[in-house]
Chain A
Amino acid sequence: MTRPVDIEVRSLHKSYRLRKRRSVIAGDLLRLLTLRRLEYKSNEALSDLSFDVYRGECFGIIGPNGSGKSTLLRILSGVTKPSSGTVRFGGSVGALLELGAGFHSEMSGRENIYLGASLHGLTHRQIRAAEEEIVAFSELGDFIDEPIFTYSSGMLVRLGFSIAIAIKPDILVLDEVLAVGDESFRHKSFKAIKEVRESGKTVVLVSHDANQVAAFCDRAMLLSRGKSILLADASTAIRFYLQTTEGAGSTHYLECGALSVAVKQGRTLLFYQGRPITKGYGIYSSMLSASGWMDVLDGTWQTERLDNKSLRSTKAIDYLSMSLTWTVRVLSETEVAVELTAHLEKPLGVDRYHASILLDPAYTKWSTQDATGKFPAIEIASYEWVHVNSKPLHSAWIEGSADQASALPEVRFSVTADSGEFAPTVLNTDYQLGSRVLQLLRRNTDPTGTWPPGTRTLFEGRVRIRLP
């Protein structure tokens, strides 16, 4: 049985045109007269977005700042038009982008009820019918006939929300308006929105507050850089969002179908249908040099190039006179390439380095070219390394597979042939991060133990998933 769709969004694009120079009207007129196109540079805020919102559900839209949430909200509410693509509604839409839109401070609360409600498309008769209900809900009492410049900000918000809830559209689009007023009014507005939902109306809630979305929504969509990264049930989407955004710095998401790739400050996290494959640092690397262990997680990475399929970031490590470049590239729906290069300004003594992938504890088995084994249960204070293959290999790989019940894909971590010889290594339990560690380790085989200045590729590998 298919559920009725209340909002159908197809191939939605929205780009903002920014004029390259602050143009003078005369210059543009000249261009128009000579039939030349005006020069614009466009900034894509939403690209190729398609989704359905079903009747009667609460649909959450989450994402970091600048992800396109507000643009989508404006299109859904009709404030602006998409550049291309379609949005179809199965009923009337009421949108609350901000409370108290159009209020006039010299006018009384009651007059502003009429103004505000008429802006949302209510007729005089409808407003008159709802007037007393609005006044009562706002708890403003005698203040309702005072000019609203005498109101406190809390009173304004109460008035705005009371009007909003009285509009009663078929589809309600809300923008983080729940966090308003004092505790008791907030409770009351929560209840009012719950009632809207229970009456079978469709609600779209846009928020960067994951808890709000978790509390209200059935399903949620995560937006990043104008694209839908994940559309799943709300709790999965929220967990995904929180796991990929914790800690400082911004998270970049790469587009990859059922597999989601999130890159944040030297760690690369993989998710399958919103559920984590990796845990903790995800894919990362560290190096043992003359100055001790250097971890890629230390310090700050600068994003050098970012598009929908790849990310390259760099980091300078001053005390080693070295800089690292970390590239993550989506090759297909099941394969991701990672590459780590180092640029040395001075010779550097290096003993060994590794690239590792930290898997979720749901992964219980590992295998390499010539060995297989099982992970024991993760226990506190137990580090148990298993050197599964002491002999370094060309084209080394290591693989983890999960319980059948978990329905997580197999993960194979491999190095390309010309990356040199790596020894697959397994860390059975990592109690701190609660993860399984699959590692590819390379020792410096140079007799001097020193790398000359210049650029060298440390590691070029692939992570491939095989669907269960």
Chain B
Amino acid sequence: MAASLSQYRTLLYQLTRREFKARYSSARLGIAWAVLNPLLMMVILSVVFSVFVRIDTGGTPYPLFVLNGLCLWQFFRSTVAATTSCIVDDRDLFRRVAFPRSLVPLSIVLSNLLNLLLTFPFLFFLMAVYERPLHLTVLLVPLNLVVLALLATGVGLITSATTVFYRDMRYMIEPLLLVLFYGSPILYPLSAVPAALRPIYGLNPLVGILRFQYEALLGGRLESLCLWAVSCSGAAVALVCGAWLYRRYAGLFVDML
């Protein structure tokens, strides 16, 4: 079925809206949770890692450091976790209507992206509290977010298609995400990673993105562009793989539901 761009756009908009509404409409605090969630995490982690265990962040106040990484991580984690089971969870929809399958994971990415953007005002507020200057490099943050979103899209496409054929993926994804969480410079700075390990450590595409974010927002100088290039390549590879999986197998999803 040939579908026009405006059909896609309408459907993507509607699905994103549904996704976003579904998340907050039943909660009394509603959309405030989008900000409250990373905030609470930040408070807990700040207490743990600046009172109980001290982590040296090279002069950056720990709450600011951890919130910066946490925002991006929360976006990635919730996007991948939600997309992984999105087809299986929404099986009724998939079984009843023929529509471009990839729009469901895409709507999850967009809705989470909106969520992420909502946390930025607070991030800037916290920077003001700690009297951190804004550098020109902040203008590159949106570009970094695009790379992150593309990476999450690619990974989400792969895991969602895989889950249809291997339900085990649903259970595997949480521990995998945990490994990724500790394998990324979120709780600790990149400088804490032993130099010998860096080449392997840098293969995690999140590393470059998190580092870029730190340098663009809090450092003011982009020093780890090599790592970021790895992230961009990682995003591209994930996206191509995910798109290929959908192209080849999306027509058979329904048979497995």
Contacts and interface: CB of A to CB of B under 8 A. Distances in A.
Contact of B95 (A16, A17, A79): A79
Interface stretch (A92-100, A240-248, A299-307, A424-432): A92-100
Given A93-B1, A104-B18, A119-B11, A78 B98 contact: yes
15 contacts: A25-B169, A74-B254, A77-B97, A79-B94, A97-B96, A102-B97, A106-B21, A107-B21, A118-B7, A118-B10, A119-B97, A120-B97, A121-B3, A123-B10, A124-B10
Given A16-B255, A120-B97, A121-B99, A25 B166 contact: yes
B25 A106 contact: yes
A287 to B, nearest CB: 48
Q: Is the interface of B mostly helix, strand, loop or mixed?
A: helix
A316 interface: no
A120 to B, nearest CB: 7
A361 B255 CA distance: 47
Interface residues of A, number: 33
B26 A123 contact: no
B93 interface: yes
Contact of A118 (B14, B26, B92, B96): B14
A80 B252 CA distance: 6
Contacts of B10: 118, 122-124, 127
B6 A98 contact: no
B131 interface: no
Contacts of A102: 18, 92-93, 96-97
Of B14, B253, B254, which is in contact with the most chain A CB atoms at under 10 Å from its CB? B14
Q: How large is the interface on B (under 10, 10 to 19, 20 to 34, 35 or more residues)?
A: 20 to 34
Given A93-B1, A104-B22, A118-B11, A79 B98 contact: yes
B98 A77 contact: yes
Given A98-B96, A121-B1, 16 more contacts: A79-B97, A79-B98, A80-B252, A81-B251, A81-B252, A95-B97, A101-B96, A102-B92, A104-B18, A107-B25, A118-B7, A120-B97, A121-B3, A121-B7, A121-B99, A123-B9
Nearest to B12: A118
Contacts of A81: 251-252
Contact of B14 (A17, A95, A114, A125): A114
Given A17-B255, A81-B252, A123 B7 contact: yes
Nearest to A99: B96
B224 to A, nearest CB: 34
Nearest to B104: A102
Contacts of B15: 115, 118
Nearest to A101: B96
Nearest to A126: B10
B1 A92 contact: yes
B93 A115 contact: no
Contacts of B7: 118, 121-123
A119 B99 contact: yes
A101 B251 contact: no
Contacts of B6: 123-125
A24 interface: yes
A104 B251 contact: no
A24 B166 CA distance: 8
Contacts of A118: 7, 10-11, 13-15
Contacts of B97: 77, 79, 95, 97, 101-102, 119-120
Contacts of A115: 14-15, 17-18
Interface string B1-45: 101101101110111011001100110000000000000000000
A300 B254 CA distance: 37
B150 to A, nearest CB: 24
Contacts of A78: 1, 98
Q: Which of B13, B94, B95 has the most CB of A within 10 A?
A: B95
Interface in A78-93: 78-81, 92-93
A231 B147 CA distance: 56
A101 B11 CA distance: 14
A160 B181 CA distance: 43
A79 B254 contact: yes
A106 B166 CA distance: 31
B22 A106 contact: yes
Contacts of B18: 102, 104, 107, 115
A93 B97 CA distance: 11
6 interchain residue pairs of minimum CB distance: A78-B98, A101-B96, A81-B251, A118-B14, A80-B254, A106-B25
A98 B91 CA distance: 13
Nearest to B4: A123
B199 to A, nearest CB: 26
B250 to A, nearest CB: 9
Interface string B235-256: 0000000000000000111110
A25 B163 CA distance: 11
Residue from B6, B96, B253 having most chain A Cβ neighbours under 10 A: B96
A16 B255 CA distance: 7
Contacts of A24: 168
